[in-house]
Every structure is written in C-alpha cells, then in structure tokens.
Amino acid sequence: ELKVEQNPLFLSMQEGKNYTIYCNYSTTSDRLYWYRQDPGKSLESLFVLLSNGAVKQEGRLMASLDTKARLSTLHITAAVHDLSATYFCAVVNMEYGNKLVFGAGTILRVKS
C-alpha cells in the first residue's frame, strides 16, 4: 500500500521566519504534487515534481524531491500572513493505480 506522511501536521510561525514541511512516501513515485487549500475552498496546484533532484520555486515557496530518500520538502522563506493555508503533498504511483494518494496535510498559520 502506498502511504504518504507529512510533518508537521500543524505549524504556527511568525512572519519573516523560514520553515520546512516534509513529505515522506512509502514506495517509488511517478509524480509528486504539492497543493494549497484555503478553508472551505478547493485545492490549488502549486508544484509538480517528476525526477530525483527536481527543485521548483514560486515566490516564497520552494519544493524539492529526493526519490532515493522518498522525501519531498516544501520550504517557506520569510513567511507572510497570506501563506496561511493547509498544504498537501500527493503521490502518484502507477503500480498502485491511477490516483493521487494524499498526505494528511499541514495546517500553516503565519502570525503577524
């Protein structure tokens, strides 16, 4: 069974600080996604990571993938209040069917 674990599950941080969210998965991945979800809203795709060593950046968020360690990270630089949301990683592995398997999510609260 493909399992995806995120930590921390809850993160409270001050504006201007840096932090990292971790996503571990149990088998090889064909694709790894990071999503953002605001309360009561749908999921917004942030990054798609395909290969070992892939790094993508958008604004204050940077995602990386280490397929050997089965680990992806989402790094937040100089957090601002607008980044407050829930962040999910999700993995697709074709051996386990054509579906996304999600982590439990990380609730991020950025305090002014």
- Find the binder of other proteins among 34, 88, 108, 110 (CB under 8 A): 88
Residue closest to 111 by CA, chosen among 76, 86, 84, 85: 84
**H helices within the chain, ranges in order?**
none
When asked if residue 17 is in the footprint of other proteins (CB under 8 A), the reply is no
Question: Six-digit token pair at 79?
Answer: 């957090």
When asked if residue 59 is in the footprint of other proteins (CB under 8 A), the reply is no
Distance from C-alpha of 28 to C-alpha of 30, rounded to nearest angstrom: 7
When asked if residue 54 is in the footprint of other proteins (CB under 8 A), the reply is no
When asked if residue 43 is in the footprint of other proteins (CB under 8 A), the reply is yes
Which positions lie near other proteins, rule CB under 8 A? 30-31, 33, 35, 40-43, 45, 48, 88, 90, 92, 94, 97-105
